[in-house]
Amino acid sequence: MENESYRLGCDIGGTFTDFVLLNDKTGEFRINKCLTTPTDPSEAVEQGIRQLLENPKTESDFMPHLEEIIHGTTLVINAIIERKGARTGLITTKGFRDVLELGREIRYDAYNIFAEYPEPLAPRYLRKEIYERIASDGRVIREIVPEEVEKVLAELSDMGVESLAVCLINAYENPAHEIKIREIVENSAFRIPHSSFSYEVLPQIREYERTCTTVTNAYVKPITAEYLRKLSSRLESLGFQGRLFIMLSSGGITSVETAREFPVRIIESGPTAAVIASQHYGRMFEIKDMFCFDMGGTTAKSCLIQKGQAGLVSTFEVGRVQRFKKGSGLPIQVPVVDLMEIGAGGGSIARISKMGLLQVGPESAGADPGPACYGQGGEHPTVTDADLTLGYLDPNYFLGGTMILDKEASHKAIAEKIANPLETSVEEAAFGIHDLINETMAAAAKTHIAEKGGNPNIITISAFGGAGPVHAYGLARKIGAPRILVPPLAGVGSALGFFTAPVAFDLARSHRVSLQEADFENIETLFESLEQEGSAILRKAAEGKVIRYERVISMRFVGQGAETDIAVERKSFRECRKEEIRELFDEEYKRLYGRTYPETPVELVTFKVRASLPERPFRIPRLNKKDGNLKDCAKGERPAFSLIKKAFIPFTVYDRSELFPGAVMKGPAIIEERESTIIIGEDAEGSVDEYGFVWIHLKISV
């Protein structure tokens, strides 16, 4: 194994932790899946790697040749949702103590007088003010008083604050006072273990979002640091000596040091990877419009990819009081892939609502206790229980037979909680659960696609996750999508997607100025400083590789409340003409909104840079088999529920590992592999290409 080189992708989900081991020299994959350990996720990571080491199909001594581990985790978002972060204090400018509760003074549900809002992560009594002031143009109006800062630090220390957030008004334009507070914190006898400063976390306009993002970073910083310490220690005990990278919400990967300093950047680290994998497959097959559909045990995530590129948004919400109500959560202003996430996974719980109607999700049984069929004490019926009852899953071949499902427990849970109260059969109740979750996902998908100007009748659905290939067929029928792509190792698609993500980091800084008055010399200096920051962050991982920079300017009409991102060439801004920048803005604005307003002046608001290293995408090896007999690939038949006939009919069951290029499977059919199961209805046809991708074509009337 002297010349071998390995990379390992590890994705921690709400129910399962997925592993993909890639041999970079041969292109071979080894995969594993184990239950997540919610109390300490690093335990599942160690357990899963040990299982790979003990697997006779895996080279037992791959650890010395393991160059990289790329890791995605739900730890940060779970800490926020479950309110398990650190005791966090805030230091802010006098008069801005309550900005976290004032927010933007917009009711997310205008007609609900009982509408609730999320409690700030830093309670009011832990928010302290200091008398200082910097103007919006960066001028110092009132100097900071060190003695006042030390007094506030002593008060917060006495209150047991574990992590400190510092967010002063207009610090994005001039961070001098925050830098001074940092010096005082580091030299104070009342030193607080962890601290976050807005000039580093988010040097951008919008005081509420900047404060909320900085406080969130501080809130999860101690728990993230401790987790990464445990994880690094466990990996070292296994003999790992390579580099550990963490997936960012923006689609790049970064070092442990950066993730430890800015944990708010990894809130959506796991779900993003499947989108990056979809982009890779889209380029591979020259598919411009794809709909990435990743359904795991806890949630379903999706993203529309247009012209081969997933969109990025600068703000998203976490910890919503009302899951589907925009404005009911905490706003986080960091770059994130434009995902749509709903509470629809294999573990989503079915129950009868107060109105006497069937309801599925958003609550999930998770990994502990899990669905009733897991046999771990779960009593509530879930989507997985319904899929098992409908014949889509083989109870003796879940996770390749390593986890036997209890079909009787599923039958009992559905009967007691759903079928009997609704006075219907267990099979009809199971179909109701399966169809309702498909309908929920389809309604959300149609909205998401329409908002992005897409057309569901021309997209290709790429299905990922343990439950994604089971439900992709039903989803496609409901939204009118004509084609489904199920890649190899779809059940661990996020872990596989890590290999296509570049080492990257996004930086931004606000400096509001009208285009007419803008000094392009100063703007070039600002861009160069952002690139230097990006270079410093990536330097350790670069190892001589060339760092690539992409520049974006957020612009808007003067008086407008929202910005439009404009990509600009990476040439000296000193050489740009103002008319050229205005033309770029008008073109993009017209593309998005159908028209522009040439007579209205525009302003530059925020300057953004993405620093990235060259990608190291994996290559999918071609199937060894050249041809074969489809009958030899069949495992037999079993009755499963037809979504068209609303009755059980025989489905031919195929072993995916035995399928060969050119194989064509007419529905109704089921294709099984260790990590997931593919359903093909009787109005669809599946085929296999030379790389082992399964393409499903539906008869959709457009």
Please, which residues have CB within 8 angstroms of residue 496's CB and are 6 or more apart in sequence? 9, 20, 29, 273, 277, 487, 489, 618
> Which H or E run includes 187?
helix 176-187
Q: Where are the beta strands (DSSP E) in 576-693?
A: 602-612, 634-642, 647-655, 664-666, 669-672, 677-680, 684-688
Q: Say what the pLDDT of residue 383 is.
A: 93
Fold match, 80-225 / 504-612: no
Cα–Cα distance measured from residue 22 to residue 279, given in angstroms and rounded to the nearest whole number: 19
One-letter amino acid for residue 363 of the chain: E
CB atoms within 10 A of CB 80: 21
Please, which residues have CB within 8 angstroms of residue 702's CB and are 6 or more apart in sequence? 457, 480, 482
Cα–Cα distance measured from residue 611 to residue 502, given in angstroms and rounded to the nearest whole number: 10
CB atoms within 10 A of CB 559: 8
Q: Say what the pLDDT of residue 454 is.
A: 84
- Tell whether omega for the bond before 146 is within 30 degrees of 0, i.e. cis: no
Q: Say what the pLDDT of residue 214 is.
A: 97
Cα–Cα distance measured from residue 257 to residue 601, given in angstroms and rounded to the nearest whole number: 42
Which residues sit opposite 270 in a β-bridge?
Answer: none
Dig out the tokens for 619 from the structure. 């290559």
Cα–Cα distance measured from residue 605 to residue 570, given in angstroms and rounded to the nearest whole number: 18
What dihedral angle (degrees, nearest 10) is formed by the CA atoms of 118, 123, 129, 135?
-20
Q: Say what the pLDDT of residue 531 is.
A: 94
Q: Say what the pLDDT of residue 367 is.
A: 67
Sign of CA dihedral 517, 520, 525, 527: positive
Q: Is 308 left (phi over 0), alpha (psi -120 to 50) or beta?
A: left
Topology of the domain comprising 504-612: Dna Ligase; domain 1 (3.30.1490)
Dig out the tokens for 639 from the structure. 């009755």
Dig out the tokens for 402 from the structure. 């390593």
Please, which residues have CB within 8 angstroms of residue 553's CB and are 6 or more apart in sequence? 565, 566, 568, 581, 604, 606, 607, 608
Task: Assess contact for 163 and 88: CB atoms under 8 A.
Answer: yes
CB atoms within 10 A of CB 26: 11
Which residues sit opposite 551 in a β-bridge?
Answer: 568, 609
**Nearest alpha-carbon partner for 529 in 603, 608, 605:** 608
pTM: 0.83
Question: What's the 3-state SS for 620-636?
Answer: CCCCCCCCCCHHHHEEE
pLDDT digits over 98-133, tens only? 999 988 878 888 888 888 888 999 999 999 999 999
Cα–Cα distance measured from residue 303 to residue 459, given in angstroms and rounded to the nearest whole number: 12
Dig out the tokens for 698 from the structure. 């539906």
Please, which residues have CB within 8 angstroms of residue 531's CB and are 6 or more apart in sequence? 549, 609, 611
Phi/psi at 541 (5° precision): -80, -20
Q: DSSP letters along 193-257, please? A: SEEEEHHHH---S-HHHHHHHHHHHHHHHHHHHHHHHHHHHHHHHTT--SEEEEE-TTS-EEEHH
Distances (CA, A) of 86 to 217, 224, 418: 10, 10, 40
Q: Say what the pLDDT of residue 702 is.
A: 45
Q: Say what the pLDDT of residue 58 is.
A: 55
Q: Say what the pLDDT of residue 645 is.
A: 92
**Nearest alpha-carbon partner for 98 in 125, 136, 133, 60:** 125
Helix (H, G, I), strand (E, B) or coil at 283: helix
**Nearest alpha-carbon partner for 79 in 349, 267, 348, 335:** 267
Cα–Cα distance measured from residue 332 to residue 202, given in angstroms and rounded to the nearest whole number: 10
Cα–Cα distance measured from residue 649 to residue 666, given in angstroms and rounded to the nearest whole number: 14
Helix (H, G, I), strand (E, B) or coil at 533: helix
Question: Which residue's entry shows tokens 């409908």?
Answer: 390
Distances (CA, A) of 22 to 274, 389, 545: 16, 35, 22
Distances (CA, A) of 6 to 26, 242, 245, 554, 616: 10, 10, 14, 40, 12
Architecture of domain 80-225 in this structure:
3-Layer(aba) Sandwich (3.40)
Task: Assess contact for 182 and 166: CB atoms under 8 A.
Answer: yes
Crossing angle between the packed helical segments 207-237 and 41-54, to the nearest 10 degrees: 40
Please, which residues have CB within 8 angstroms of residue 257's CB and are 6 or more apart in sequence? 540
Cα–Cα distance measured from residue 410 to residue 418, given in angstroms and rounded to the nearest whole number: 11
Phi/psi at 236 (5° precision): -65, -40
Q: In the chain, which residues have pLDDT < 50? A: 1, 702
Task: Assess contact for 339 and 303: CB atoms under 8 A.
Answer: yes
Task: Assess contact for 681 and 643: CB atoms under 8 A.
Answer: yes
Cα–Cα distance measured from residue 246 to residue 265, given in angstroms and rounded to the nearest whole number: 10
Dig out the tokens for 554 from the structure. 């957020």
Determine how β-strand 88-93 pairs with β-strand 163-167.
parallel
Topology of the domain comprising 271-497: Nucleotidyltransferase; domain 5 (3.30.420)
Cα–Cα distance measured from residue 41 to residue 417, given in angstroms and rounded to the nearest whole number: 31
DSSP 8-state code for residue 191: -
Q: Locate the domains of the chain by residue range.
A: 80-225, 271-497, 504-612, 630-698
Dig out the tokens for 405 from the structure. 């499902």
Burial of 241: CB neighbours in 10 Å, binned 0-12, 13-18, 19+: exposed
